Structure 1
């Protein structure tokens, strides 16, 4: 789900060195719920009870030094304490340990409620997946919102970049059946107004690299 917001509103919540990446003169903020499967930390294999969990991110689209595009995460909900602690410590990305669920049928329901000390924010999202989009039906805006190959973060106050590798998302039409969320306000953003752009994907394999401070990237 994707909403446009004024660029100056989003810019006020970005660290030095980043600016909103605009589409049609507006910044965009997205809520992206999904189910992580076969999660592992190389060189380990996927571990039972630790490799499958729901996650939801609240993100925007930015440009960093040199105009290089990427993502900025306002928050990431995850139903895995190990992931939350490890990712927060290793990358500075703002994970929140949450009680979460995914129920799939004709519709798909994603629920989340943050555990202390970050609670009780969360969401209930119900979507109905529709017809798969052919490659020629995927718009430039779709690519803008889904084709990002790095995420920015801060580590000890220093802007850093995390490489993101995945195939292009296979996209489907989707209908938003129900939405109840306060992730925007928890991040200090205004609640979105108007209907969002909605899409669905069956998923891709993804790989995230370690966070590297930008001052080290040219070495």
Structure 2
């Protein structure tokens, strides 16, 4: 699958590893930075989503998304992302994400609006049978854009090129390719969300680390089954 990810806001909080471990499937281990585990909330916009052999489809290929995540590895290698939830404003994207990538997508009413230098994001999960969840945030990107330096916390949190999924007791791995994120700082206000709590985690009361990326072109490869 090819697509473009734009207006990515990365919000991260440190969280005790013992709170995360029970929520991670067997076969994966938490990936930590200097011994610290993290939970992330990432809203963004997807455009041009399509299979490699097909053109983009109006009304289908563009949508808004937000995910709740942490970071894991498999067998001491292949650092990647574990998703607790993914909400999307496209029913097609939800179906494809669940059917082809075994990811916990849910349908939501969502919008991402640009007003001058500010971005306003909002989401309300309305999938039948799913626990309700909302997210609303306003922010303003600031400063120059540059890739995160290897070895830094920013690189650990942002530069992930593997996703993991599980279904029916089996573990899967998918690879993602894109250029390094053009990372910027961002000033955030008005965050109101309960997606992290719905995922079964207590969000720390402190302010999150905030990073922004204007966008990258992405290719998501098919899943492979892990032993």
Shorter chain as normaliser: what TM range? over 0.9
The residue aligned with 1:156 is 168
> Does the C-alpha gap of structure 1 residues 194 and 76 become closer, same or farther in structure 2, counting only changes over 3 Å?
same
Is the 1:91–1:155 contact (alpha carbons within 8 Å) kept by the matching residues of 2?
Answer: no
Q: For 1:44 and 1:210, locate their aligned partners in 2 and report how far apart those are by CA, in whole Å.
A: 16
- The partner residue of 1:120 within 129, 132, 137 is 132
Is the 1:113–1:119 contact (alpha carbons within 8 Å) kept by the matching residues of 2?
Answer: no
Q: For 2:70 and 2:223, locate their aligned partners in 1 and report how far apart those are by CA, in whole Å.
A: 18
Cα RMSD of the aligned pairs, angstroms, is: 1.6
The residue aligned with 2:3 is none
Is the 2:43–2:121 contact (alpha carbons within 8 Å) kept by the matching residues of 1?
Answer: yes
Structure with greater proportional helix content: 1
Q: Which moved more, 1:179-188 or 1:152-161?
A: 152-161
Listed as ranges, the gaps of 5+ residues in structure 2 are 1-10
SS at match of 2:34: coil
1:77-156 correspondence runs (5 A): 77-105=87-115, 106-117=117-128, 118-135=130-147, 140-156=152-168
Q: CA deviation at 1:25?
A: 1.4
- The partner residue of 1:65 within 75, 90, 100 is 75
What per-residue deviation string (whole Å, max 9, x for no partner) do you get for residues 101-149 of structure 1? 0111221111100113225311001111101244587871111011111
SS at match of 2:196: helix
Listed as ranges, the gaps of 5+ residues in structure 1 are none
Is the 1:91–1:154 contact (alpha carbons within 8 Å) kept by the matching residues of 2?
Answer: no
Higher relative contact order (CA 8 A, sep 6+): 2
The residue aligned with 1:184 is 196
Q: For 1:90 and 1:135, locate their aligned partners in 2 and report how far apart those are by CA, in whole Å.
A: 31
Q: For 2:28 and 2:77, locate their aligned partners in 1 and report how far apart those are by CA, in whole Å.
A: 9
Q: TM-score, normalized by length of structure 2?
A: 0.90
Q: For 1:138 and 1:198, locate their aligned partners in 2 and report how far apart those are by CA, in whole Å.
A: 18
The yes-or-no answer on 1:3 pairing with 2:13 is yes
> Does the C-alpha gap of structure 1 residues 125 and 131 become closer, same or farther in structure 2, counting only changes over 3 Å?
same
Structure with greater proportional strand content: 2
Q: For 1:132 and 1:23, locate their aligned partners in 2 and report how far apart those are by CA, in whole Å.
A: 25
Would you identify which runs of 4 or more consecutive aligned residues in structure 1 move more than 4 Å?
Answer: 135-139
Q: TM-score, normalized by length of structure 1?
A: 0.93
